[in-house]
């Protein structure tokens, strides 16, 4: 692939018309001051305001401002995935459109990727200006993510991150997996992951897109990431192991019941009336179910090649 730019900036957005001109002006100033060749790819995730009109106007003023407009709202992960597919920069930087991420961080993020040969650099908003209803869940998620993934980052969900181009072309994000791109990169073989303290600014325009569904989706996505990283290629290793444990438990209780009936309690209760019998039965049934789940997952994994499809309504100078 011919990489035409030093830096590609991917900006997913939803109803951010007020902030876009200021954000692009800020990015362009930083790029010009550091003599970077660049592109900024705005991903309009089905905005209902005038965000796309603003992007069109920015593109007319400067061809480095590019855009992709979704037909409807698919979510941040879909927006990032589509942006990653389009970028042509050696270093890819993601940031939110609400001006809470500072473009002044871009030069140092670029240098950390290029000079330190890191695959991923994740921002760390050490001092945050978010409400406590957002900061406390974030701390819990980050603690759990560190324990499960083995990646020692303080802020997995920070929107300001930098990647080598090869990283974003090698991973696929969907659902709400944008929170866990560093683990996905690690599982794809890009293990050189760094961190940088970045400035966090209070929201200047609009309202937060934070919702209560994050309390449910965050932990479930983390479990999905952990499963994908360890068992995506061989799901039978997980389901088969659990099934084997259940079989051992079931056969253990069955063996105990048979020995007890034959040698100890020959004239006692019927085996089918004892609690141990039902434990053995349930354990063996569950063992069969886990084995079948493993086989089905193996078949799906070997035969599925269909990627997620996101309907794009319009583009601006994006291949």
Mean pLDDT value across the chain: 86
* Of the candidates 82, 100, 12, the residue with the CA atom closest to the CA atom of residue 51: 12
For range 78-96, the mean pLDDT: 95
- The answer to the question of residue 292 being in a domain is yes
Residues 105, 107, 108, 113: what is their CA dihedral angle, to the nearest 10 degrees?
A: 120
pLDDT of residue 302 exceeding 70: no
| Same domain? 111 vs 178 | yes
Token readout for 175 is 């659902």
Look at residue 6 and tell me whether its pLDDT is greater than 90.
Answer: yes
The residue out of 182, 204, 232 marking a domain boundary is: 232
Residue 280: which residues within 8 A CB-CB, separation 6 or more? 249, 250, 251, 252, 253, 254, 257
Same domain, 131 and 259: no
100 shares a domain with 35: yes
CB atoms < 10 A from the CB of 268, how many?
11
Q: What CATH number is attached to the domain comprising 141?
A: 3.90.550.10
Q: Is pLDDT at 308 greater than 60 in this prediction?
A: no
| Angle of the 20-33 helix axis to the 106-115 helix axis, nearest 10 | 50
Residue 245 pLDDT grade (very low, low, confident, very high; cuts 50, 70, 90): very high
What is the pLDDT, as a whole number, of residue 139?
81
What pLDDT, on the 0 to 100 scale, is given for residue 7?
Answer: 97
Q: Quick one: pLDDT band at residue 220, thresholds 50, 70, 90? A: confident
- The per-residue pLDDT for 210 is 58
Q: What local confidence, expressed as pLDDT, does residue 231 receive?
A: 75
Q: Specify whether 106 is located in the same domain as 191.
A: yes
Same domain, residue pair 266 and 129: no
Q: What percent of the chain has pLDDT over 90?
A: 50
Is pLDDT at 264 greater than 80 in this prediction?
A: no
- Are 176 and 162 contained in the same domain? yes
Residues 228, 99 share a domain? yes
Q: What's the pLDDT score for residue 24?
A: 97
Q: Is residue 118 pLDDT above 90, yes or no?
A: yes
Q: Are residues 223 and 250 in the same domain?
A: no
Task: Name the strand (E) or helix (H) holding 66.
Answer: strand 65-70
The phi, psi pair for 115, rounded to 5°, reads: -85, -40
Contact by Cβ (8 Å): 67, 42: yes
pLDDT for the residue numbered 102: 93
Q: Which residue has the higher pLDDT, 230 or 92?
A: 92
In a domain, 108, yes or no: yes
Average pLDDT of the segment spanning 11-15 = 95
| Residues 29 and 148 placed together within one structural domain of the fold | yes
Q: How many domains does the chain have?
A: 2
Average pLDDT over residues 303-310: 56
Alpha-carbon span 8 to 83, nearest angstrom: 9
In a domain, 185, yes or no: yes
Q: What pLDDT is stored for residue 296 in this prediction?
A: 86
Ranked by mean pLDDT, the top range of 2-16, 146-160, 203-217 is: 2-16
Residue 223 included in any domain:
yes
313 lies in some domain: no
Cβ atoms of 12 and 76 within 8 Å: the answer is yes
| 309 within domain boundaries | no
pLDDT at 212 exceeding the cut of 60: no
Q: Are residues 114 and 53 in the same domain?
A: yes
Reference 111, options 25, 185, 7; nearest CA is 7
Structure tokens, 91: 């270093």
Q: How many residues does the chain have?
A: 319
pLDDT for the residue 103? 95
User: Is residue 17 in some structural domain?
Assistant: yes
Same domain, 226 and 263: no
Q: Is the pLDDT of residue 209 over 90?
A: no
Whether residue 277 is contained in a domain is answered as yes
Q: Which residue segment(s) compose the domain that 256 sits in? A: 236-303
């Amino acid at each position: 692939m011919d990489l035409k730019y030093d830096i590609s900036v991917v900006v997913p957005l939803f109803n951010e018309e007020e902030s876009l001109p200021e954000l692009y002006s800020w990015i362009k100033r930083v790029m010009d001051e550091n003599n970077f060749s660049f592109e900024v790819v705005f991903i309009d995730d089905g905005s209902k305001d005038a965000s796309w009109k603003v992007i069109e106007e920015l593109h007319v003023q400067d061809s480095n401002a590019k855009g992709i407009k979704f037909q409807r709202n698919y979510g941040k992960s879909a927006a990032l995935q589509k942006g990653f597919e389009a970028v042509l920069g050696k270093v890819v930087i993601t940031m939110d459109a609400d001006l809470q991420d500072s473009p002044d961080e871009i030069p140092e993020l670029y240098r950390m990727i290029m000079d330190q040969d890191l695959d991923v650099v994740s921002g760390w908003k050490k001092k945050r200006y978010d409400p406590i209803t957002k900061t406390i869940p974030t701390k819990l998620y980050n603690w759990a993510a560190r324990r499960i993934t083995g990646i020692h980052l303080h802020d997995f969900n920070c929107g300001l991150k930098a990647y080598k181009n090869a990283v974003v072309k090698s991973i696929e994000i969907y659902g709400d997996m944008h929170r866990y791109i560093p683990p996905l990169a690690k599982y794809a073989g890009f293990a050189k992951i760094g961190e940088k303290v970045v400035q966090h600014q209070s929201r200047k325009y609009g309202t937060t897109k934070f919702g209560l569904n994050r309390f449910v989706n965050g932990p479930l996505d983390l479990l999905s990431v952990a499963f994908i990283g360890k068992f995506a290629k061989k799901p039978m290793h997980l389901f088969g192991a659990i099934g084997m444990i259940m079989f051992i438990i079931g056969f253990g209780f069955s063996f105990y019941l048979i020995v007890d009936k034959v040698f100890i309690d020959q004239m006692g209760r019927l085996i089918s009336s004892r609690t141990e019998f039902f434990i053995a039965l349930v354990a063996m049934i569950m063992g069969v179910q886990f084995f079948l789940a493993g086989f089905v997952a193996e078949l799906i994994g070997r035969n599925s090649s269909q990627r997620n499809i996101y309907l794009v309504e319009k583009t601006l100078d994006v291949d």
